[in-house]
């Protein structure tokens, strides 16, 4: 059986990326680590992948933006932020939508990096959270930065830009609690997204801190879509003890909630307060305008790309940068019964 880079990494007790750095003779690796990896290579009689080595040695000025996200506003913001940073440094941008559920996605991304000779990749959820994708990219020593949900002190490896979704969800739930609401429901996006888990955790944290219990039927799983908001809101508004406020996992869901409320004659915000997340154009195009959480996606993408390019140019860059979203109060939330 052919010895792989995975075998060497396991034998040496280091990451796949560290093995790649040693085989590519990068100067930043500690000598003790170099010796340990070289000893593993010799013991296993490992032959490095020559195409991967030549890829790492080839100078490129193309950054790839790889995503699987149905939210056009999110994608455009990300694209504009990455493009802005690329232009600052004389890099080009390659945009590559894909299907994160594709069983061959890891192989396809490796092929993309090789064929396009990419200098680096900007990865967004759910790809940035997929261990198999990251392992595949590490196996060819690809340069990438991850945009992921997390907070200061989160245990992350490699280059990352963290978005503290939990803090944002705490803020927006606290806003409803301060208005006197206690019957507050939550509509999720896909549970496969870490951002969903963090936003849900923030909502639960805020409710718990005020000693407010959450009925089991007040948390409904759904998708990051307008239709999911309509469906979820209809179910909540049919409950005997229907909520006086709903936290939606993003603005598209919140817009769907608003339409569902209107269809059954529930006044917003008089009878039902609605809040969203991300501060997308959806939040400003509805009537009433949505209270939400501002997430500066364009700036997040710009910072991520700057870090990626700086690392590529062997400049010192932070391993992780944290953005904390902030609540934006508009017209869709008001005092309980007001």
pLDDT given at position 21: 73
Q: Residue 292: name the closest of 280, 306, 267, 275 by CA.
A: 275
Sequence ranges of the domains in the chain: 5-48, 58-163+297-325, 165-295
The share of the chain scoring above pLDDT 70, in percent, equals 92
Q: Find out whether 11 and 54 touch, Cβ atoms under 8 Å.
A: no
Provide the pLDDT confidence category of residue 266 given band limits of 50, 70 and 90. Answer: very high
Residues 156-187: tens digit of each pLDDT: 777 899 999 999 999 999 999 999 999 999 99
pTM: 0.81
Residues 113-156: tens digit of each pLDDT: 988 889 999 999 999 999 999 999 998 889 999 999 998 777 67
pLDDT given at position 338: 43
Provide the pLDDT confidence category of residue 337 given band limits of 50, 70 and 90. Answer: low
pLDDT given at position 128: 93
51-65, 72-86, 130-144, 154-168: lowest mean pLDDT where? 51-65
pLDDT given at position 19: 81
| Top-level class of domain 5-48 | mainly alpha
Q: Find out whether 289 and 324 touch, Cβ atoms under 8 Å.
A: no
| 58-163+297-325 CATH, one of 3.30.413.10, 3.40.50.12160, 3.30.70.270, 3.40.50.2300 | 3.40.50.2300
CA dist 168 and 295 (Å) reads 9
14-18, 33-37, 85-89, 207-211: lowest mean pLDDT where? 14-18
pLDDT given at position 28: 66
CA dist 101 and 46 (Å) reads 32
Q: In what order do the strands lie in the sheet with 320-323?
A: 92-97, 62-67, 120-123, 144-149, 159-163, 320-323
pLDDT given at position 3: 82
Residues contacting residue 54 through CB under 8 Å, at least 6 positions apart = none
Q: Find out whether 144 and 113 touch, Cβ atoms under 8 Å.
A: no
The CATH architecture annotation of domain 165-295 reads 3-Layer(aba) Sandwich (3.40)
pLDDT given at position 52: 54
Q: What value does the mean pLDDT take over residues 50-60? A: 55
72-81, 167-176, 226-235: lowest mean pLDDT where? 72-81
The enclosing H or E element of 148 equals strand 144-149
Same fold, 5-48 and 58-163+297-325: no
Q: Residue 272: name the closest of 199, 179, 334, 202 by CA.
A: 334
The share of the chain scoring above pLDDT 90, in percent, equals 67
Q: Find out whether 184 and 213 touch, Cβ atoms under 8 Å.
A: no
pLDDT given at position 316: 65
Q: In what order do the strands lie in the sheet with 184-187?
A: 219-220, 184-187, 245-248, 273-275
pLDDT given at position 323: 95
Q: Residue 298: name the closest of 122, 119, 178, 142 by CA.
A: 122
């Amino acid at each position: 059986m052919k010895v792989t880079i995975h075998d060497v990494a396991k034998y040496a007790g280091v990451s796949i990326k560290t093995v790649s750095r040693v085989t590519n003779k990068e100067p930043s690796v500690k000598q003790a680590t170099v010796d340990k990896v070289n000893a593993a290579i010799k013991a296993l009689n490992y032959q490095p992948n020559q195409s991967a080595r030549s890829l790492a040695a080839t100078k490129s000025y193309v950054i790839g933006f790889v995503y699987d996200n149905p939210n056009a506003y999110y994608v455009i913001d990300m694209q504009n932020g990455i493009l802005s940073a690329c232009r600052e440094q004389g890099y080009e941008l390659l945009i590559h939508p894909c299907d994160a559920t594709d069983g061959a996605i890891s192989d396809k991304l490796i092929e993309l990096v090789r064929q396009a000779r990419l200098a680096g990749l900007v990865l967004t959820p759910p790809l940035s959270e997929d261990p198999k994708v990251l392992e595949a990219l590490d196996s060819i020593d690809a340069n990438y930065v991850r945009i992921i949900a997390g907070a200061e002190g989160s245990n992350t490896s490699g280059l990352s830009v963290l978005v503290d979704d939990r803090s944002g969800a705490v803020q927006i739930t606290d806003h409803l609690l301060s208005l006197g609401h206690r019957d507050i429901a939550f509509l999720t996006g896909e549970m496969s997204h870490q951002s969903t888990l963090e936003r849900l955790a923030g909502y639960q944290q805020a409710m718990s801190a005020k000693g407010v219990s959450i009925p089991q039927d007040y948390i409904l799983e759904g998708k990051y879509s307008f239709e999911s908001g309509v469906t979820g809101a209809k179910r909540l508004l049919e409950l005997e003890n229907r909520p006086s406020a709903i936290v939606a996992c993003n603005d598209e869901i919140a817009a769907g909630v608003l339409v569902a409320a209107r269809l059954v004659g529930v006044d917003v915000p008089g009878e039902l307060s609605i809040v969203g997340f991300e501060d997308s154009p959806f939040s400003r195009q509805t009537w009433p305008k949505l209270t939400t959480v501002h997430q500066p996606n364009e700036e997040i993408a710009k910072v991520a790309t700057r870090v990626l390019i700086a690392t590529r140019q062997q400049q010192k860059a932070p391993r992780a940068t944290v953005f904390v979203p902030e609540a934006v109060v508009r017209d869709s939330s008001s005092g309980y019964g007001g």
